[in-house]
Amino acid sequence: MKLTTLAMAGALALASTGTFTVTASAEGMDQASIVEAALAGGDAAAGEKVFKKCKACHMIGEGAKNRTGPALNNIVGSVIASVEKFKYSKGMVARHEAGDVWTVENLDAWLTKPKNFVAKTKMSFAGLRKAEDRANVIAYLATFADK
């Protein structure tokens, strides 16, 4: 059962084109399954290189603190905008209140073009054009799932 879910989610991650709708097909998946799907869907080592583009604003790993953007530990599979003491934009707070989760699909949509996912987001980042870069950086984020 779990394997099927994993394979499906992995395939979804690979098939990402940036035209995803927000209603995740992964809805109902628990956090551990989302993390597994993220790890299966990309190459975390390659994602670490992609993450260089994020470092201007984000920290991740032990002792990571909020900077311009929130610390990104344990972000995959968590409810959107849950990092303590970070002042999110209204649009992100609305996502939080709706209970929306950072599934692989939502992360993919977000990283394709943040402004299309949350209008007036404070994340002034154009986005990652290549689906492969997105899948890889999502896999990298997933390696910090239990920190």
- Give me the residues that bind ligand HEC (CB under 6 A), please: 53-54, 56-58, 68-70, 72, 75, 80-83, 88-89, 92, 111, 118, 121-125, 128, 137
What's the one-letter identity of residue 100?
A: D
Closest to ligand HEC by CB, 5 vs 125, is 125
Query: Residue 80 Cβ, how far from ligand HEC at the closest point, in Å?
Result: 5
Q: How far is the CB of 3 from ligand HEC (least distance, A)?
A: 27
- Residue closer to ligand HEC by CB (options 75, 145) is 75
Residue 141 Rama label (left phi>0; alpha psi -120 to 50; beta) = alpha
Q: Which is nearer to ligand HEC, 7 or 119 (CB)?
A: 119
Report the C-alpha dihedral over residues 38, 42, 44, 45, rounded to 10 degrees: 180
Within 13 Å of residue 12, how many CA atoms lie on the same side as its CB?
Answer: 26
